[in-house]
Every structure is written in C-alpha cells, then in structure tokens.
Amino acid sequence: MNAAALSPRALLLALAVVAVWGTNFAVIGATLHSLPPLLFATLRFAAVVFPLILFVRRPQVSWRILALYGLAIGVGQFGLLFIAISGHIAAGIASLLVQSQVVFTIAMAMVTSGERLRPLQYGALALALGGVAVIAGHTGGEVSLPGIALVLGAAFGWALGNMAQRAAGRVEMLGFITWSSLFAVPPLALMTLWFEGWPAIATALAATTPAVWAAVAWQAVGNSLFGYGAWGWLLARYPATSVAPTSLLVPVFGMASTAIWLGEALPPWKLLAAALIIGGLALNLLATRQAGGSRKL
C-alpha cells in the first residue's frame, strides 16, 4: 500500500498496539509484587518460544542477528527493565524514561553507518536529555539513581535490538520474535538461578495465582506476539513516518494506566519530564519525515 496516511482500520490497529505496550507497564508493576523480576522475564520469553517455535518457520536471517536481537531485547531491555521497576523506579516513569532508546539508536546509527544528525535532531536530543535531567533531579521516593541507570540500560538494549532488526531487513515478524526469543531464555534462566536463587523461585511459583499466569501470558501474547507482529505488519504496508508517530502515545498510556491502576501520582515535574521527552521524540520523527522517511531511527 503506497498511501502515506494510515487507513482508519490501520490507525485503530496502531493505537491498539501502543495502548497494549503502554498499559503493560501497569501490568508489570502489579505482577512484580508476586514474581521476582528475572523469573518474570524468563517466564515471559519462555512463553513466547514454547510451543510456538514448533509451528513457526525460522526467518531467513542469520543466527547471529537472531541471537543479538534476543539477547538485546530479552536480557538487555526487559531483564533490566523488570529489575528497575521491582523497587527502584515507578513503572510510569520507567515507561517514559525507556523512550530514551531513540537517543541511543541515533548514536548507534551514526557510529555504524556514518549517519549525521539533521538540524532538528539536535533540538530533539536536547529536549529528550532535558527530560532525563528532570527525572534525575527528583530522586527519592519513586525514583532512584540505580533505577534510572537500569532503565537507561534497558533503553540501550532496546536500541541494540533496533539495530539488529534493522540489519535483518523486512522479515516475517512472528517468526523473528519467536526464534530470537529462544536466545533470551537460557541466559535469563541462569541469571534467575544465580541472583534470585532456587528457594525464591520455588516459593514464587508455588504462590502464583491465575492472575499472575494471565500477566505472563499477556507479556508473551499481547506484547510480544501481537504487539511486535502487528507493528511489523503495519511497517510492511505503510511508510514508517506514518506509523512511528503513534508510538509517542506509549508513555502517555503508561503514565495514565499506572496512575489509575497503581495509584502513582502525576506531580508537575513528571508532566514536565513527559513533555520534554515526548517533545524530543516528536521532533526526531519530524526530522525523519522531512528527510523523506528514508531512514528509520
């Protein structure tokens, strides 16, 4: 489909994806009261792999790219993100701060392919970094310096995953997500045993409720398979400059859902940080659109 604008059905699909991704931070925050973070991450990616890998063909990309994506997203992004939200930073703030992956993605693109910043992107980076600075200036209570560092590490992992997916090119996303997740499970399981220990694992599993297993299934089916699958479907049919702007709503859904379901407050400094970071993301998308959307950052 060559039309630049999303059709009404495609727009609803894109909004459904970002709503799932955003509200998932409330689900994560609630579930981490019952599961240790690394065990939660292990179960999430194990549920993506099995039994689907028995029925989905491996995509035509190298094992190296699959491994890089699986490790970057599984261990780097979600492993660190779950640890951060488990007592180090509020889930709503994490949903906002992790969007700094755009900064890391731009930096990696500059290093690996020699891309240069466009004029608007300097302003975009300044706004986004200003939002990070606002968050860093309000440590204590819902935010800690270790929490900020962990979420920034998760954003770096997300950016690595972006570069791996970019190297893979246009692939069938269901197979790509399923087979790459295979590389996330073993290291996450080993880290769970090492850092959380078998007694904590056994206790958590014995105390699981249907709601906890539903949250694990939602991570695998809702976020990974539906979210990334639908997003890949949209990007295969519409210009990235038409699809990508809807992702600006992820932290909006994230902060709103955690405020409603987890009771997280929304003081002025949080709204200022959100305005700066989302403004930086929007300005970066505008720069990409003006350049014809030839590069996806």
Q: Could you give the angle at the alpha carbon of 159 between the alpha carbons of 245 and 169, nearest 5°?
A: 75
Distances (CA, A) of 161 to 77, 89, 104, 232, 259: 9, 23, 11, 14, 29
Confidence of residue 69 (pLDDT cuts 50, 70, 90): very high
Taking residue 109's Cβ as centre, other Cβ atoms within 10 Å add up to: 20
The whole-angstrom separation of Cα 269 and Cα 293 is 33
* Report for 5-14, 115-124, 134-143, 266-275: range of highest mean pLDDT: 266-275
> Regarding predicted confidence, which is higher, 260 or 293?
260
The whole-angstrom separation of Cα 95 and Cα 253 is 9
Least confident range from 43-57, 96-110, 124-138: namely 96-110
Examine the pLDDT at 290 and tell me if it is beyond 70.
no
Q: In this structure, what token pair is assigned to residue 78?
A: 């979600």
Could you tell me what percent of the chain has a pLDDT over 90? Answer: 61
pLDDT the model gives residue 296? 40
pLDDT the model gives residue 232? 75
- Break the chain into its structural domains and give their ranges: 8-290
Which residues touch 221 (CB under 8 Å, ≥6 apart)? 47
pLDDT in tens, 150-164: 999 999 998 898 888
pLDDT the model gives residue 119? 81
pLDDT in tens, 195-254: 999 999 999 999 999 999 999 999 999 998 898 778 877 877 777 667 777 888 899 999
Do 89 and 45 contact (CB within 8 A), yes or no?
Answer: no
pLDDT in tens, 78-119: 999 999 999 999 999 999 999 888 788 878 877 877 767 778
Quick one: which H or E segment has residue 14? helix 8-31
Q: In this structure, what token pair is assigned to residue 162?
A: 């972006």
The whole-angstrom separation of Cα 111 and Cα 222 is 34
Average pLDDT on 276-297 reads: 70
